[in-house]
């Protein structure tokens, strides 16, 4: 296929992704931009039916009083992220969450659980000094996405469903973004969409691990595109493992799906195969320690057990009363029952599962990137969480920064009267990259993906060492090389899912390499990144974050100092020029 055969399409604002960030961006862009502005949303699947926000169970962190404050939420976020977050981003997240939750209720139409007095019910989540997690039972994401989907579908924005983004196409000088190359998955046709502003909100999806929570089509495509475009990516070693992923066996895709943090917040206990409660051996907060600590505790117990037939540990809720558990956690009880477990009255086997990605594209607090015309929000953006995301901060981050992105693009698009011309050499290279497997001899792809997942779990997982990660790099390179020898049948490109499986795996290989190289560059242990050969966290006041970038086809990793713009390690009171005075909980 030649560049001249690519279909062309123009729009003013293009939004990639329809999770919480993408849908909120569409609504805010519609409100901010002039009536004549054309807004287009594109998604790999169907609007409202795919993405990670829909899968959110636990809830939405927001400081709504009762002893809680924005400042307190902010300090929990900074402490949870082990002083690596971009403080300006973290502050804006906590501050705007209060605005966004009211917007979700009063304008979008979400119904969240309430107390008897009519106030929003807020439950306990780990790593936080207040009960601040607003929720809809344990199916919060479905409530948020369903209501957002209704609003967006009624807004009149253009929809490109089942369209896969495969390349960010810059201008000839590389300073600005001209548009995005896409595949119409329904026909297999290529379409270049020129846009004056583009939001990348494709989500993360660390599915390169043996145990993972996102659906298999979440494969870090956005970060892989940003890497090839030369953008800087920060905190790429920071993969969050949720402590309690369902362990139901290799025969079902239910394995790895999350049993939400609210179970432990409500008093759920973790026990090993000897029936012993063990988390207090690892942290004074027990099961309510942060996710990284609980994941390491479980992983350590798994290594002690060393029995392949009894790999995980168990979560037990029965001591809280089976009927109480069934009432409070209906979704979780049903999910476990579908997999043969009785959460309310028995024990459920669990394992740490790759859940969320704290790393992402370097952006400013208005979601702008170093490339004019490109904006990033949600899990694709780095900075807000640092080394560890607090449970409940994820959907807040997506909706807060999705709205900010929509507002920013709505203002910026007025400055750009003309469409930018693409660099046709890059367009041709991205096209060639996408059709590469159609020219090779067809073979099976899934065995290679499982090989990558085993490699990452064993070598670049919950606990890491230099030797293990170097071995992991070798394994990733081997999978990448083998992938390049495998092709797919290109006789019919319409809904050719094998073709997309190939493209998915290539994205996963690219980002797996970056995760591993960033992990090698960080010779200390912070949050989700734990090195057994460098177990100490290092001095907080000397904190650095990693920055990865691809240049001339090679990935290099640098370190940059964290700017303590609001509060410094060791301070008990915020400086006078901070947003407000705060007594910090260190």
| pLDDT 10s digits, 82-103 | 999 999 999 999 999 999 999 9
Catalytic residue positions? 242, 264
pLDDT tens, 533-557? 999 999 999 999 999 999 999 999 9
pLDDT at 580 > cutoff 70: no
Average pLDDT, the chain: 93
CATH entry, 439-557, from 1.20.58.100, 1.10.510.10, 1.10.3720.10, 3.40.1580.10: 1.20.58.100
pLDDT at 54 > cutoff 90: no
* Average of per-residue pLDDT across 327-343: 91
* Average of per-residue pLDDT across 480-501: 97
Tell which residue, 330, 331, 310, 314, has the closest CA to residue 243.
314
Give the contacts of 491 (CB within 8 A, at least 6 positions apart).
Answer: none
| Percent of the chain whose pLDDT exceeds 90 | 82
Whose tokens are 């992402």? That residue is 360
Give me the residue spans of the domains in the chain.
7-238+356-424, 244-354, 439-557
Give the 3-state secondary structure of residue 297. Answer: helix
pLDDT at 331 > cutoff 90: no
Lowest mean pLDDT across 62-76, 244-258, 272-286 = 244-258
pLDDT at 167 > cutoff 70: yes
Give the 3-state secondary structure of residue 37. Answer: coil
Distances (CA, A) of 254 to 9, 48, 246, 336, 474: 39, 21, 7, 9, 30
Q: How far apart are CA 446 and CA 444, in angstroms?
A: 6
210 pLDDT band, cuts 50/70/90, is very high
Q: What is the pTM of this model?
A: 0.95
Give the containing element (helix H, strand E) for 374.
Answer: strand 374-376
DSSP calls for 329-358:
-HHHHHHHHHTT--TTTSEEEEEEEEEEE-
Q: How far apart are CA 391 and CA 133, in angstroms?
A: 9
CATH architecture designation of domain 7-238+356-424? 3-Layer(bba) Sandwich (3.50)
pLDDT at position 559? 97
Tell which residue, 18, 71, 10, has the closest CA to residue 47.
18
How many residues does this entry show for the chain? Answer: 586
CATH entry, 244-354, from 1.10.1760.20, 2.60.40.10, 3.90.700.10, 3.20.20.70: 3.90.700.10
**Is the sign of the CA dihedral 21, 23, 26, 31 positive or negative?**
negative
pLDDT at 579 > cutoff 70: no
């Amino acid at each position: 296929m030649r560049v001249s055969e690519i279909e062309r399409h123009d729009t003013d604002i293009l939004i990639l992704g329809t999770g919480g960030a993408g849908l909120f961006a569409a609504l805010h862009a519609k409100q901010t931009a002039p009536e004549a502005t054309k807004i287009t949303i594109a998604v790999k699947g169907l609007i409202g039916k795919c993405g990670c926000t829909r899968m959110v169970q636990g809830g939405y962190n927001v400081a709504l009083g009762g002893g809680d404050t924005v400042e307190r939420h902010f300090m929990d976020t900074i402490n949870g992220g082990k002083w690596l977050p971009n403080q300006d981003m973290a502050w804006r997240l906590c501050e705007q969450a209060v605005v966004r939750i009211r917007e979700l209720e009063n304008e979008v139409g979400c119904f969240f659980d309430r107390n008897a007095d009519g106030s929003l019910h807020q439950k306990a989540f780990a790593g936080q000094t207040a009960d601040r997690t607003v929720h809809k039972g344990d199916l919060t994401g479905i409530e948020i996405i369903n209501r957002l989907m209704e609003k967006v579908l009624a807004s009149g924005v253009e929809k490109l469903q089942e369209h896969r983004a495969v390349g960010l196409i810059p201008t000839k000088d590389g300073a600005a973004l001209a548009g995005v190359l896409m595949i119409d998955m329904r026909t297999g046709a290529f379409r270049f969409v020129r846009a004056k502003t583009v939001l990348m909100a494709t989500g993360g999806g660390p599915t390169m691990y043996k145990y993972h929570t996102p659906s298999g089509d979440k494969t870090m495509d956005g970060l892989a595109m940003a890497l090839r475009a030369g953008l800087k990516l920060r905190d790429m070693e920071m993969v969050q493992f949720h402590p309690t992923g369902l362990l139901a066996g290799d025969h079902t895709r239910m394995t790895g799906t999350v049993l939400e943090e609210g179970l432990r917040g409500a008093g759920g206990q973790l026990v090993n195969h000897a029936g012993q409660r063990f988390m207090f051996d690892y942290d004074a907060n027990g099961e309510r320690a942060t996710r990284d600590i609980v994941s390491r505790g479980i992983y350590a117990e798994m290594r002690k057990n060393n029995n392949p037939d009894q790999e995980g540990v168990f979560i037990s809720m029965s001591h809280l009363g089976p009927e109480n558990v069934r009432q409070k956690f209906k979704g979780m009880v049903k999910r476990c029952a579908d997999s043969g477990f009785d959460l309310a009255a028995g024990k459920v086997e669990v394992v740490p599962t790759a859940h969320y990605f704290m790393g992402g594209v370097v952006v400013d607090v208005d979601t702008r990137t170093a490339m004019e015309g490109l904006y990033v929000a949600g899990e694709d953006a780095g900075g807000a969480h640092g080394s560890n995301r607090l449970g409940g901060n994820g959907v807040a981050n997506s909706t807060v920064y999705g709205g900010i992105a929509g507002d920013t693009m709505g203002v910026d698009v007025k400055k750009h009267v003309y469409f930018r011309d693409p660099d046709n050499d890059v367009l041709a290279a991205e096209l060639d990259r996408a059709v590469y497997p159609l020219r090779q001899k067809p073979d099976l792809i899934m065995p290679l993906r499982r090989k990558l997942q085993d490699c990452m779990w064993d070598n670049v997982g919950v606990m890491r060492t230099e030797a293990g990660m170097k071995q992991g790099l070798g394994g990733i390179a081997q999978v990448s090389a083998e992938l390049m020898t495998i092709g797919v049948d290109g006789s019919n490109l319409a809904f050719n899912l094998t073709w997309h499986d190939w493209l998915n795996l290539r994205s996963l290989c690219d980002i797996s390499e970056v995760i591993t190289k960033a992990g090698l560059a960080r010779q200390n242990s912070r949050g989700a990144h734990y090195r057994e050969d460098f177990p100490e966290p290092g001095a907080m006041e000397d904190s650095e974050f990693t920055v990865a970038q691809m240049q001339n086809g090679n990935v290099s990793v640098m370190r940059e100092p964290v700017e303590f713009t609001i509060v410094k390690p060791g301070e008990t009171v915020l400086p006078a020029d901070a947003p407000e005075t705060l007594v910090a909980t260190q």
